[in-house]
Amino acid sequence: MSHIEPTLTREQAAIVEAAHKLRLGECLRVIAFAGAGKTSTLRAVAGAMGQRRGLYVAFNKAIAAEAKSRFPETMRCQTMHSVAWGAQGLKPDEIGPLNAHSVLAHFGNQGWSPAPVAGLRPISQARHVARLVTAFCQGAAQEPTQAEIEELLDRHVLRLPPAGASAVHEAHQPLLRKREVLGHVLRDRGREACRRFLGWRANGLKISHDIYLKSFALDEDLIRHALQQVDYICLDEAQDLNPVLRQIAVAAGKPVIAVGDPWQAIYGWRGAQDALRHLLGDRLYLSQSFRFGDAVAAVARRVLASRPGSKPERPLRKVEREGLVRPYAGPPQGVRAVLCRTNARLLKQAFALAQIGRSFHVPGGIEEMATEVCSAQALAEGRMQEVRAEKPRRFTSWEQFIEEAEETGDAALARLRDAVEEGVVMPCRRSRPRRRQPRPRRRWR
């Protein structure tokens, strides 16, 4: 093993040594608290590996780009979607949205359940089918399971009581009937949609990013071929991995170093799971935070200890530095951060700051979001020539837009609807007819 940097803590040095000893198919799980030097530890792992080639699996493209500048050349920094894209030779024109419209475009309006249940027109049924395809692609199963179907019905239609359907209150009988009809649709057409989308090239279909990642995960030979030049894999943000990503990492048969903080998991609502609980292997900690002193660490320990049955086995420790915790005394002056729960509130806050001349920055930018809201506003006001964004442009009236948002449960449409209804006023540029320039008179000689 290459020389371990003397500046590493005991915990970091133990992780570097354990990572170097991993054999094919083995996993090392690292619980890394906030500010505990996770990236520097992984960088030390890469340095200790010498000329062995690693794959750092980043959460998104921006993190992967940043990581390239921080790791040695022996470490490839990519998202798993990027790996799957290259392995399958995908082209941009093969990619398209997965929603009710794309499902209907393939299956047509025929063959859906004719049951006279409120809110179950073909487009609504297609929306639930699209949800099942997405859930299946993010999971680790070989085909859509009954558990995935039941979870979708619980979440989007009606959650059955522990005693089952017989215990459903009379007032909820219409929803129970809707659940039964959708259950048949998902077991039949939903499973068929999964099969067809996975064979997108033979069926001439456009696919979402989730679908080609799932296609990659189901082909172990392709996974091993795509990662044959990789000697070990580092999984970052392992507390928020979809099961399909964990499935790919295991199928590769390489040593895996999974790093994350279970108490910072925020994507469970999207089907993400804590891979640190599901992967098998030794568990080590990065518990010494370099981000704050003991005053802040003490508060963090109290918060973590207050969660029944889930507090960490090892307490958060601090480095020798100053820290200060003060009682809240009102909003601070000068630079401040504003947290917005919804995109509608974000746009409303941004426009309010712009109106009073305050400069601000939104991570990731809001240009695309603002364009969509401007187009939704134009659609609601009947200014059809100013509807430029893709989503609102599919509709001929605001009433049609609202109807589909409510029937299909499309989250993107619902966000735009909320932005317009909450009165988010954007400084949209209204198109003005160009003044026709008179043609210059030709002079005769």
Q: 57: helix, coil or strand? A: strand
CA angle 143, 257, 41 (to 5 degrees): 145
Res 445: pLDDT: 38
Asked if 71 and 100 sit in the same domain, the reply is no
Question: Is the same domain home to 200 and 118?
Answer: yes
More confident residue, 166 or 222: 222
Do 116 and 186 belong together in one domain?
Answer: yes
- Per-residue pLDDT, averaged over 42-58, amounts to 95
Nearest 5°: phi and psi at 337?
A: -105, 140
- Flag whether 427 is in a domain: no
Q: Are residues 44 and 25 in the same domain?
A: yes
CA distance 359 to 363: 14
Domain closes at, from 177, 207, 237? 207
Q: Which residue range forms the structural domain that includes residue 45?
A: 10-88+214-291
Q: Calculate what percentage of the chain has a pLDDT beyond 70.
A: 87
Query: Is residue 336 in a domain?
Result: no
pLDDT at 115: 66
Q: Does 162 fall in a domain?
A: yes
Q: Say if residue 77 is in the same domain as residue 218.
A: yes
Least Cα distance to 287 among 318, 262, 323, 329 occurs for 318
Is pLDDT of 255 > 80?
yes
Taking a C-beta distance cutoff of 8 angstroms, is the pair 212, 85 a contact?
Answer: yes
Q: Please report which confidence band the pLDDT of residue 432 belongs to, taking 50, 70 and 90 as the band edges.
A: very low
Taking alpha carbons only, the member of 397, 362, 395 closest to residue 380 is: 397
For the chain, give the longest Cα–Cα distance.
98
For residue 73, what is the domain's CATH number? 3.40.50.300
Query: Where is the domain boundary, 162, 188, 207?
Result: 207
Q: What's the 3-state SS for 321-381?
A: CCCCCCCCCCCCCCCCCCCCCCHHHHHHHHHHHHHCCCCCCCCCCCHHHHHHHHHHHHHHC
Provide CB contacts within 8 A for 184, sequence distance 6+.
Answer: 113
DSSP string, 33-56: -TTS-HHHHHHHHHHHTTT--EEE
Mean pLDDT of 52-77: 93
Residue 119 scores a pLDDT above 80:
no
* Alpha-carbon span 227 to 428, nearest angstrom: 48
137 is a domain residue: yes
% of the chain exceeding 90 in pLDDT: 47
Q: Are residues 128 and 182 in the same domain?
A: yes
pLDDT at 112 over 80: yes
Question: How far apart, in Å, do the first and last CA atoms of the chain sit?
Answer: 90
Give me the helix-helix angle, 100-107 and 191-198, nearest 10°. Answer: 90
Please, which pLDDT band fits residue 440 given cuts at 50, 70 and 90?
very low
Residue type, 442: R
Query: Do 358 and 416 belong together in one domain?
Result: yes
Residue 238 DSSP class:
G
pLDDT of 165 above 90: no
Q: Which amino acid makes up residue 250?
A: V
Supply 291's token pair: 């981000």
Q: How far is CA 403 from CA 118, 175, 395, in A?
A: 13, 19, 11
Number of separate domains in the chain: 3
> What does the alpha-carbon distance between residue 415 and residue 374 come to, in Å, rounded to a whole number?
13
CA 382 to chain centre: 34
Does the residue 410 lie in any domain?
Answer: yes
Average pLDDT, the chain: 85
pLDDT greater than 90 at residue 58:
yes
Residues 198, 287, single domain; the answer is: no
Q: Residue 320: phi, psi to the nearest 5?
A: -80, 85
Task: Please check whether residue 300 lies inside any domain of the structure.
Answer: no
Q: Whole-angstrom Cα distance, residue 272 to residue 193?
A: 23
> Quick check: is 36 in a domain?
yes
Residue 331, pLDDT above cutoff 70? no
| Residue 392 included in any domain | yes
Cross-strand partners of 284 = 30
Domain co-membership, 176 together with 203: yes
Q: Could you tell me the two tokens for 371? A: 């364009």
| 409 band by pLDDT with thresholds 50, 70 and 90 | low
CB 33, CB 261: distance < 8 Å:
yes
Mean pLDDT score, 308-326: 66
Cross-strand partners of 55: 76, 233
At which of 291, 324, 352 does a domain end? 291
* Nearest-angstrom CA–CA distance, 244 and 239: 14
